[in-house]
Structure formats: C-alpha cells, structure tokens
Amino acid sequence: MLYNTKNPVDLGIKTRGTTAESWTPYVERYEVSTKMARLAAEQDLKNTTYSKRQDFSTHVSILRSKWAKANLLGATIDDEDFKMILLTSLPVSWNPIITTCIKDSTSTEAISLLETWSLHFSPKSSINPVAALQVTKPP
C-alpha cells in the first residue's frame, strides 16, 4: 500500500480530536518501522561474510559501515560485539589467527592483526617475478 506522505490522514493520523490522539498512532507506527529497520540492519551486518576473492580492507569497510548504520537505527553493538561479528565473518582457514584475536584485544587491534595475516597468507599475494630475479642476481 502506497502512502501519500503529504496527506496525514493516509498515515493514519486523526485530524479530529486532541493532539495526543493524533500523535499516538503515528509514534506507534514509526517505532515499529524503526525497529524493523534496526532488525534488518543488524541481520545484514551479521550475515556479511568474507570471500577469498575480496580485499580484506574492503570487507572491513563494509562491516564498519553496516555497524554504524545499525547503531544509528538504535542497535547497541559495542566494540567487543563488532569484533566477534568480524571474526565470525571470516572463513575457517583463518582460524589460527582468529584464536589470537579473540583474546583481550579491541576490534582495531584485531583488524590490524587480520590485515597482516591477509597480506601474508592471501591467495592473491604472490612473489613478484622481477623482484625474485633481482634478489637471485649476484652482486
């Protein structure tokens, strides 16, 4: 059902009666839609996963954007919760570094460790053949 936002009657606001009578149904509908948006934002954040073809920094940026959106909509996802969401978004092959990140670190510290891990163990990171030749060349 489409609502004409310029017409308050379409929004369910009573135009006859007291202000409180007019305001209550509007607030109730707004709260329900806000809670639904928050629920969707939290679910979107928690369902985001990292793929091996994706750049790790991009993955973190996406997660941080979704975290900010969820919190703007009323979620109370703190730094520890965000860190756990980040760690659960990673594939099983990252388990050796995940166990290190679970310890008493902040999400920023965990991201720093994970960034280093991704640089060294990412399938995309390969030795540059030109640099390898330069290293093996005698002085």
Number of domains in the chain: 1
Residue with tokens 């902040």: 106
Summarised one tens digit per residue, pLDDT across range 37-53 is 899 999 999 999 998 88
Please give the residue range of the domain that contains residue 85.
19-126
Output 1 or 82, whichever has higher pLDDT.
82
Asked whether residue 5 is domain-assigned, the answer is no
| Complete DSSP assignment for 73-106 | TT----HHHHHHHHHHTS-GGGHHHHHHHHSS--
Asked whether residue 68 is domain-assigned, the answer is yes
Summarised one tens digit per residue, pLDDT across range 104-138 is 789 999 999 999 988 887 655 444 444 444 555 55
Confidence band, pLDDT 50/70/90 cuts, at residue 12: low
Asked whether residue 96 is domain-assigned, the answer is yes
User: What pTM did the predictor assign?
Assistant: 0.68
DSSP 32: H
Confidence band, pLDDT 50/70/90 cuts, at residue 35: confident
Asked whether residue 71 is domain-assigned, the answer is yes
How far is the C-alpha of 136 from the C-alpha of 139, rounded, in Å?
9
pLDDT value at position 38? 92
Angle at 20 between CA 16 and CA 26, to 5 degrees: 85
**Amino acid at the residue 63:** L
Asked whether residue 115 is domain-assigned, the answer is yes
In whole numbers, what is the pLDDT of the chain averaged over residues? Answer: 80
Burial of 75 (0-12, 13-18, 19+ CB in 10 A): middle
